[in-house]
Amino acid sequence: MYFCTVIQHSTFLFISGTEIAFILFIAIMVFGADKLPEIARGLGKGMRTLKDATNDIKHEITKTAESHGVDTSITKDVKEEIDKVKDDLEDFTGSVKRKF
Protein backbone atom coordinates (compact mmCIF):
# COMPACT_ATOMS: atom_id res chain seq x y z
CA MET A 1 0.00 0.00 0.00
CA TYR A 2 1.25 3.47 -0.79
CA PHE A 3 0.89 6.12 1.90
CA CYS A 4 1.43 9.75 1.21
CA THR A 5 1.56 12.47 3.81
CA VAL A 6 0.66 15.94 2.76
CA ILE A 7 1.89 18.88 4.76
CA GLN A 8 -0.57 21.71 4.57
CA HIS A 9 0.51 25.22 5.34
CA SER A 10 -1.90 27.85 6.54
CA THR A 11 -2.75 29.88 3.46
CA PHE A 12 -5.32 32.50 2.60
CA LEU A 13 -5.90 33.00 -1.12
CA PHE A 14 -2.68 31.10 -1.79
CA ILE A 15 -0.69 33.56 0.35
CA SER A 16 1.35 32.28 3.28
CA GLY A 17 1.40 33.85 6.73
CA THR A 18 4.79 35.45 6.11
CA GLU A 19 3.56 37.10 2.93
CA ILE A 20 0.45 38.41 4.71
CA ALA A 21 2.63 39.88 7.47
CA PHE A 22 4.86 41.52 4.86
CA ILE A 23 1.85 43.01 3.05
CA LEU A 24 0.48 44.36 6.35
CA PHE A 25 3.89 45.87 7.16
CA ILE A 26 3.99 47.62 3.77
CA ALA A 27 0.39 48.83 4.24
CA ILE A 28 1.29 50.32 7.63
CA MET A 29 4.32 52.01 6.13
CA VAL A 30 2.36 53.46 3.20
CA PHE A 31 -0.90 54.47 4.88
CA GLY A 32 0.10 54.82 8.51
CA ALA A 33 -1.32 53.04 11.53
CA ASP A 34 -4.06 55.64 12.09
CA LYS A 35 -5.52 55.24 8.56
CA LEU A 36 -5.66 51.43 8.47
CA PRO A 37 -8.86 51.09 10.56
CA GLU A 38 -10.63 53.54 8.23
CA ILE A 39 -9.44 51.62 5.18
CA ALA A 40 -10.51 48.30 6.71
CA ARG A 41 -13.91 49.74 7.62
CA GLY A 42 -14.37 51.00 4.06
CA LEU A 43 -13.40 47.62 2.64
CA GLY A 44 -15.83 45.91 5.01
CA LYS A 45 -18.67 48.20 3.96
CA GLY A 46 -17.82 47.61 0.30
CA MET A 47 -17.82 43.84 0.76
CA ARG A 48 -21.15 44.03 2.61
CA THR A 49 -22.65 46.13 -0.19
CA LEU A 50 -21.42 43.61 -2.76
CA LYS A 51 -22.89 40.71 -0.75
CA ASP A 52 -26.24 42.51 -0.41
CA ALA A 53 -26.30 43.24 -4.15
CA THR A 54 -25.53 39.59 -4.91
CA ASN A 55 -28.33 38.43 -2.62
CA ASP A 56 -30.75 40.90 -4.27
CA ILE A 57 -29.83 39.57 -7.70
CA LYS A 58 -30.31 35.96 -6.55
CA HIS A 59 -33.69 36.88 -5.06
CA GLU A 60 -34.80 38.60 -8.28
CA ILE A 61 -33.69 35.65 -10.42
CA THR A 62 -35.53 33.20 -8.17
CA LYS A 63 -38.66 35.36 -8.12
CA THR A 64 -38.64 35.76 -11.89
CA ALA A 65 -38.06 32.04 -12.43
CA GLU A 66 -40.95 31.14 -10.13
CA SER A 67 -43.26 33.65 -11.81
CA HIS A 68 -42.47 32.10 -15.21
CA GLY A 69 -43.09 28.57 -13.95
CA VAL A 70 -39.45 27.43 -13.89
CA ASP A 71 -38.86 24.66 -11.35
CA THR A 72 -36.43 25.98 -8.73
CA SER A 73 -36.89 23.11 -6.31
CA ILE A 74 -33.84 21.30 -7.64
CA THR A 75 -31.56 23.61 -5.67
CA LYS A 76 -33.52 22.81 -2.52
CA ASP A 77 -33.21 19.09 -3.23
CA VAL A 78 -29.46 19.40 -3.78
CA LYS A 79 -29.07 21.39 -0.56
CA GLU A 80 -31.02 18.77 1.38
CA GLU A 81 -28.81 15.98 0.00
CA ILE A 82 -25.66 17.94 0.85
CA ASP A 83 -26.95 18.52 4.39
CA LYS A 84 -27.62 14.77 4.76
CA VAL A 85 -24.08 13.95 3.64
CA LYS A 86 -22.65 16.55 6.01
CA ASP A 87 -24.63 15.10 8.91
CA ASP A 88 -23.47 11.57 8.06
CA LEU A 89 -19.88 12.77 7.80
CA GLU A 90 -20.10 14.57 11.15
CA ASP A 91 -21.52 11.42 12.75
CA PHE A 92 -18.66 9.36 11.32
CA THR A 93 -15.91 11.83 12.24
CA GLY A 94 -17.37 12.19 15.72
CA SER A 95 -16.94 8.48 16.35
CA VAL A 96 -13.44 8.56 14.90
CA LYS A 97 -12.46 11.53 17.07
CA ARG A 98 -13.73 9.76 20.19
CA LYS A 99 -11.59 6.70 19.41
CA PHE A 100 -8.41 8.78 19.31
Say what the pLDDT of residue 69 is: 80
15: left (phi over 0), alpha (psi -120 to 50) or beta: beta
Say what the pLDDT of residue 4 is: 45
Say what the pLDDT of residue 53 is: 95
Say what the pLDDT of residue 33 is: 87
The pLDDT tens digits for 45-56 are 999 999 999 999
Say what the pLDDT of residue 95 is: 62
pLDDT over 60 (residue 3): no
The pLDDT tens digits for 32-79 are 888 989 988 999 999 999 999 999 999 998 889 888 887 777 777 888
pTM: 0.49
